Amino acid sequence: MTAFMMDYEFKLKTQNERVKVEDLFNYEGCKVGRGTYGHVYKGRRKDSSDNRDYALKQIEGTGLSMSACREIALLRELKHSNVINLIRVFLSHNDRKVWLLFDFAEHDLWHIIKFHRAAKANKKPVMVPKGMVKSLLYQILDGIHYLHSNWVLHRDLKPANILVMGEGSERGRVKIADMGFARLFNAPLKPLADLDPVVVTFWYRAPELLLGARHYTKAIDIWAIGCIFAELLTSEPIFHCRQEDIKTSNPYHHDQLDRIFNVMGFPHEKDWEDIKKMPEHPTLLKDFKKSNYVNCSLIKYMDRHKIKPDSKAFHLLQKLLLMDPNKRITSEQAMQDGYFSEEPLPTQDVFAGCPIPYPKREFLTDDDQEEKSEKRQTQQQQQQQTQLPSQQQSQSQQLQSASNNDNHNNPAKRVRLSGQQLPGQVNSQNMPISQQTDFHQQHVMYNNTQQHNFSQRF
């Protein structure tokens, strides 16, 4: 072949100008995260021009996958204090790897909730400011409102993708991450459902998606935020459901719908008129009996978890988790909700200046890698969900009622994080049990003793 595709001089020149990630950063052995689309390392600059921590995400596979492409394209344009900031992109020509450089976020909601669940099971309360959940929710909504007003849908909101900054100038700031699934949604060029077989982890997936909705909407992100809010309030994934295989091309998922109805009750037609139009509506009618869910309601579920039906938190949750996507509240409306104008007001630092009780990210060794992969994370969550409470059978009414819903699970091996004393954990022997068992309760308790800490406000 005669044509030379690329000029040698040009190639040489760009090669010399190109900065390599391994020349700029130390990150070897510092893997802290493993998701479906990448490995995340904690890195420091080699030239120590600063000694901040950075997150380096190495995209799974080689070359520019569609999800890498979307993540780069969108993050290159987005700028908001609650959306993770893409600092730069490294293209490694030799091994064809793509690296994304971000600010390092010490925490994420998956780890935070896991920590609370473990503490709850061990009857060791966690000291967090009373307004922390509210601040987290407010900032999640703020970030999503920004995305939505720029015509970007996230589509994969779940605790693992909500990061929280550790000590430093942005202490306690929420950062929405993992835009790999995100896409622009005005004038989709193809029905969105055609592109990725499965998009959101089932637990956070809106009922209309499970019933085969072809197009993603803002309301789908809002549902996921409602799920995260409930999980923050109770430390339990509200729509926890066993799932064998995350990847499936069929959106309809019987067990997940069953779980939603078990919490929410079966949707009345008057509450969700368009449910008839859902592609999987016939399957729904065939598979489900309304009468099985007559005693279920969100009020009862949350009440079992000590969230009062007349609280502002509950009212907002109910609006986020409306079954009918058309009736679901928008992020903008949610931010105006009375919950956020009630004391304690949300703070920019979700920890409100208090000590951060959560452990720092641990480095994953090679053996861990598999175990901590996001696929496994969901399994772990399931195991904890069933194991932690059930190992302490009869210790608490409340825990029992929480685990009753899922005790059909197999008695899988218990996962790590048992026993060991974690930093920030407080010895609780002389605290009333009723106040130790629940994430939400713990805030109240903490607030009672440390009220003066909540001064920094939005």
Ligand X SMILES: Nc1ncnc2c1ncn2[C@@H]1O[C@H](COP(=O)(O)OP(=O)(O)O)[C@@H](O)[C@H]1O
89 contacts other proteins (rule: CB under 8 A): yes
Among 105, 192, 227, 334, binds ligand X (CB under 6 A): 105
Draw the binding track, 128-167, toward other proteins (x: CB under 8 A; -: no contact).
---------------------xxxx---------------
Binding-site partner at residue 32 among other proteins, Mg ion, ligand X, none, CB < 5 to 8 Å by type: ligand X
Which residues have CB under 8 Å from 48's CB, separation 6+? none
Residue 381 C-beta: closest distance to ligand X, Å: 13
190 contacts other proteins (rule: CB under 8 A): yes
Q: Dump the DSSP string for 55-95.
A: EEEEESSSS--HHHHHHHHHHHH---TTBPPEEEEEEETTT
Write down the catalytic residue from 108, 142, 156, 349. 156
19 contacts other proteins (rule: CB under 8 A): no
Among 98, 118, 133, 160, binds ligand X (CB under 6 A): 160
Of 98-106, 129-137, 232-240, 264-272, which segment contacts ligand X by CB under 6 A? 98-106
SS3 for 108?
strand
Residue 187 C-beta: closest distance to other proteins, Å: 8
Residue 118 C-beta: closest distance to other proteins, Å: 40
Which residues have CB under 8 Å from 110's CB, separation 6+? 158, 159, 160, 377
Among 41, 102, 266, 272, binds ligand X (CB under 6 A): 102
Binding-site partner at residue 138 among other proteins, Mg ion, ligand X, none, CB < 5 to 8 Å by type: none
Residue 21 C-beta: closest distance to other proteins, Å: 14
156 noted as active-site residue: yes
72 contacts ligand X (rule: CB under 6 A): no
CB atoms within 10 A of CB 94: 6
- CA-to-CA separations, 1 to 4, 5, 8, 9, 11, in angstroms, rounded: 8, 10, 16, 20, 19
Distance, in Å, from the CA atom of 440 to the CA atom of 354, rounded to the nearest integer, reads 17
Of 99-107, 230-238, 387-395, 448-456, which segment contacts ligand X by CB under 6 A? 99-107
* DSSP label of 158: S
| Helix/strand/coil (H/E/C) assignment for every residue in 299-337 | HHHHHHCCCCCCCHHHHHHHHHCCCCCCCCCCHHHHHCC
Residue 193 C-beta: closest distance to other proteins, Å: 12
Kindly calculate the radius of gyration of the chain based on its CA atoms and give it in whole angstroms: 23
Binding-site residue positions: 57
Known catalytic residues are: 156
Binding-site residue positions for ATP: 57
